[in-house]
């Protein structure tokens, strides 16, 4: 008896008013003599029209009804709060408007070409509940037989006929109102790119003759009441460029005429040519919508303006040819030209080093008065090892100090500094995005007390550009780095015992070039499934090796070509990353997603580096808060290698490789406002291309690779306030790269941002 009472309470039925029935939902069925094309999709579409939605139910229980009941008669207090946040009033049969729903379904059937469809409904009741079932009988779907574009000899009709080849309406396709709507939008955009600035999709009419048996003829018409200005093309006359516009602007500066533009000078920030390069609206040219949109996008992508607005108005001046004219104002509101930012951090690394760090960043948004972005970063940090690595607990293994100082600069020029080539137009006139030439240089000093110090000098030069919002490409023609390495006697003994480590930790040049391609659908926020792909190829030392071989001659197996007495690395490196984001809910604002990531990296040392490994800065490490979260950074691999004895102390330098394979899958769930949860599984490892006797099992062997994957799983909590994410992930190891983990103790990761 008590159990029945409890079940009755959990089901929410006790909260139904006397004489009423709880509405539990509806079933939509399609009845047709023959199975319809896309019948399941049509049935789902009709089901979305059902109103109201029943109360949330899980395994026959309705917890939201329980919370709602707590707040009945409460104006404040805990019960009122719980009811307001988690409660839901009962949805009753009396609230169901079956006729309205049937009418909506019939209308939707007509929109899909079922002109003689009908829908009936039936109420099915039980003791305390009721559901309303709908049965749709679509009948025959009408097919488009003929399509007739406007036939008059007018400018507007000729322009519409000129778009016929790209029409979305095809003879033989079923009638679909959405396709007709999209066709009007398509034609409107096509006309706006032919000068018809004042045209509107509502001025276009489709007359559909449905008197034929199962077929329709479609006639394109321009409405008779369309205004005259919408039926003629417009040319641009005067274009004004104001680079320092504010809402209260009462511009008193006198404009100058520059390349036919009416330009309001602000020469302390911009040269006129820097702006006109990004403007694709030309005086005395036909108005084209795509050029207006391209100008907006290009100016905003310069990174120097907070807002850009383009206004058009009929020109007061006439035209000798009788053409209609528009004047345009391009209004640009500047960001602050110079900014200085300082960030103080407390760094805590998985290898036991903890300490403060300071980053100072200076930005000039028009360094050479051409919208060039100059970014200078200064970095300083000092860290002390507060605990020894696991398995090497002794007083001598703590108290080590690591210092880092760095200065780097980047100059981003908003154009491609390149000659006109048959296969490359450096202006990329059909792209909405500003191409860039990138220059970079930097120096970085790292000193690990008692071990080594290294000073790295770098310089690079290349290009980056986008052809679509989802696509980006980058070429680094020159990416030079020189590492000056100095080690202590203690670390010399480690390097002497480990030849592979010695090759990585040596003074050497890296003379690289690279290409990177990125395809990212995450910018398409409404897509339910989003793909991210990035591929990168890098080669180093080939030109230097060819020159050295030609000038110096051949070398023995133990000799290396050098530059200024220092060897240079020669290798090829390839990286692929693929991610998929799938939103569980059709609601675009939902954070409930399944996310997967696959990373593959291959580095092949050859030539001047034959028989060895990649330079240390180019090698792969695995583990940590953005990788295999059940293990510390560089605690995995290579291969089945497991540091023992004194090797544990130096494992942070040892556990790197030339190959990487990593996969992650994660389910993300909205919990509360600004709080999300996650469940994840990580797997991966790294390997060596060439065998290293000091790291047994580290070389890649295809038949053993899957058996050597480290695997971890865990749960996460994320505080996501949109512009900032704090992430807590707790993970436990399921399998180590060498087999059963020595410890199943979990690891708590604290990080900023999502792992991928």
Specify the 3-state DSSP secondary structure of 507.
coil
- Pick from 255, 217, 221, 223: nearest CA to 239: 255
pLDDT for the residue 647 = 60
Q: Residue 278: how many CB atoms within 10 A of its CB?
A: 22
Structure-block tokens of residue 719: 């505080």
Q: Along the chain (756 residues), what's the average pLDDT of each consecutive run of 10 residues?
A: 45 79 94 89 93 86 86 85 87 94 96 95 92 95 96 95 96 96 97 97 94 92 95 95 78 81 86 92 95 95 93 83 91 93 68 70 94 95 60 44 90 88 73 92 88 90 92 95 86 77 79 96 92 97 88 78 87 97 88 96 91 84 92 88 70 80 96 91 95 90 94 95 87 94 89 87
pLDDT for the residue 681 = 98
Report whether 245 contacts 263 (CB < 8 A).
Answer: no
Q: The pTM is what?
A: 0.80
Specify the 3-state DSSP secondary structure of 113.
coil
pLDDT for the residue 753 = 87
pLDDT for the residue 589 = 84
pLDDT for the residue 346 = 61
Structure-block tokens of residue 112: 């899909």
Helix, strand, coil percentages for the chain (3-state, nearest 5): 20, 40, 40
Report whether 363 contacts 375 (CB < 8 A).
Answer: yes
Tell me how far CA of residue 9 lies from CA of 3, 12, 63, 421, in angstroms. 10, 5, 10, 77
Contacts 24+ apart (CB under 8 A), 163-172: 163/187, 163/190, 163/191, 166/190, 169/144, 169/218, 170/144, 171/144, 171/145, 171/146, 171/147, 172/143, 172/144
What residues have CB less than 8 Å from 424, skipping those under 6 apart?
416, 418
pLDDT for the residue 42 = 94
Alpha carbons 50 and 134: distance in angstroms, whole number: 9
Answer positive or negative: Cα dihedral of 195, 200, 203, 206.
positive
The DSSP bridge partners found for residue 661 are: 600, 685
Give the H or E element holding residue 107: helix 98-111
Give the H or E element holding residue 148: strand 143-148
């Amino acid at each position: 008896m008590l159990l029945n009472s409890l079940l009755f309470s959990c089901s929410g039925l006790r909260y139904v008013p006397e004489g009423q029935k709880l509405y539990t939902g509806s079933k939509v069925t399609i009845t047709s003599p023959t199975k319809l094309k896309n019948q399941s999709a049509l049935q789902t579409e009709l089901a979305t029209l059902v109103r109201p939605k029943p109360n949330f139910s899980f395994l026959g229980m309705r917890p939201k009804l329980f919370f709602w009941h707590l707040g009945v008669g409460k104006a404040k207090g805990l019960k009122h709060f719980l009811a307001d946040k988690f409660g839901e009033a009962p949805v009753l049969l009396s609230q169901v408007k079956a006729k309205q729903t049937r009418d909506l379904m019939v209308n939707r059937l007509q929109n899909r070409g079922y002109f003689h469809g009908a829908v009936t409904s039936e109420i099915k009741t039980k003791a305390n509940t009721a559901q309303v079932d709908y049965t749709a009988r679509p009948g025959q779907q009408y097919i488009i037989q003929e399509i007739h574009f406007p036939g008059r000899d007018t400018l507007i009709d000729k322009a519409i006929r000129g778009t016929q080849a790209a029409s979305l309406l095809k003879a033989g396709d079923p009638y679909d109102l959405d396709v007709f709507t999209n066709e009007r939008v398509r034609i409107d955009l096509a006309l706006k790119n032919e000068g018809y600035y004042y045209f509107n999709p509502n001025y276009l009419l489709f007359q559909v003759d449905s008197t034929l048996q199962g077929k329709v003829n479609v006639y394109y018409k321009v409405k008779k009441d369309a205004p005259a200005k919408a039926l003629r093309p417009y040319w641009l006359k005067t274009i004004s460029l104001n680079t320092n516009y504010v809402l209260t602007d009462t511009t008193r500066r006198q404009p100058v005429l520059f390349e036919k533009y009416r330009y309001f000078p602000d020469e302390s920030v911009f040269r006129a040519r820097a702006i006109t390069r990004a403007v694709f609206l030309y005086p005395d040219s036909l108005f084209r919508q795509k050029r207006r949109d391209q100008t907006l996008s290009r100016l905003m992508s310069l990174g120097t303006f907070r807002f850009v607005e383009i206004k058009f108005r009929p020109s007061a001046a006439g035209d000798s040819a009788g053409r209609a004219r528009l004047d345009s104002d391009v209004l640009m509101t500047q960001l602050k030209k110079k900014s200085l930012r300082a960030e103080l951090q407390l760094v805590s690394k998985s290898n036991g080093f903890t300490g403060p760090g300071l980053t100072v960043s200076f930005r000039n948004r028009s360094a050479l008065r051409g919208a060039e972005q100059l970014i200078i970063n200064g970095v300083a940090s000092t860290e002390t090892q507060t605990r020894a690595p696991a398995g090497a607990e002794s007083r001598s293994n703590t108290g080590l100090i690591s210092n880092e100082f760095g200065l780097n600069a980047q100059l981003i020029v908003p154009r491609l500094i390149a000659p006109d080539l048959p296969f490359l137009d450096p202006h990329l006139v059909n792209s909405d995005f500003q191409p860039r030439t990138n220059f970079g240089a930097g120096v970085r000093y790292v000193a690990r007390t008692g071990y080594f110090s290294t000073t790295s000098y770098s310089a690079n030069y290349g290009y980056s550009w986008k052809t679509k919002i989802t696509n980006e490409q980058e070429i680094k023609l020159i990416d030079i780095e020189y590492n000056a390495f100095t080690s202590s006697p203690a670390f010399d003994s480690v390097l002497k015992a480990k030849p592979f480590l010695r090759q990585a930790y040596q003074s050497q040049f890296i003379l690289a070039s690279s290409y990177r391609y990125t395809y990212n659908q995450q910018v398409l926020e409404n897509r339910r499934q989003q793909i991210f792909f990035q591929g990168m190829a890098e080669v180093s030392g080939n030109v230097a090796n060819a020159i050295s071989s030609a000038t110096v001659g051949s070398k023995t197996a133990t000799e290396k070509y050098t530059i200024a007495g220092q060897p240079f690395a020669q290798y090829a490196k390839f990286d692929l990353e693929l991610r998929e984001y799938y939103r569980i809910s059709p609601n675009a604002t939902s954070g409930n997603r399944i996310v997967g990531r696959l990373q593959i990296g291959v580095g092949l040392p050859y030539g001047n580096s034959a028989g060895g490994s990649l330079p240390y800065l180019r090698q792969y490490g695995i583990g940590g808060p953005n990788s295999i979260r059940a293990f510390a950074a560089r605690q995995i691999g290579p291969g089945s290698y497991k540091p023992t004895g004194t090797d544990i102390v130096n494992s942070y330098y040892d556990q790197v490789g030339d190959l990487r394979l990593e996969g992650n899958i994660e389910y993300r769930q909205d919990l509360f406002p600004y709080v999300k949860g996650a469940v994840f599984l990580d797997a991966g490892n790294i390997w060596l291309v060439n065998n290293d006797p000091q790291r047994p099992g580290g070389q890649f062997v295809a038949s053993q690779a899957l058996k050597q994957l480290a695997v971890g799983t865990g749960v996460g909590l994320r505080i996501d306030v949109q512009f900032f994410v704090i992430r807590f992930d707790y993970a436990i190891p399921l399998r180590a790269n060498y087999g059963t983990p020595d410890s199943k103790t979990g690891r708590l990761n604290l990080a900023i941002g999502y792992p991928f």
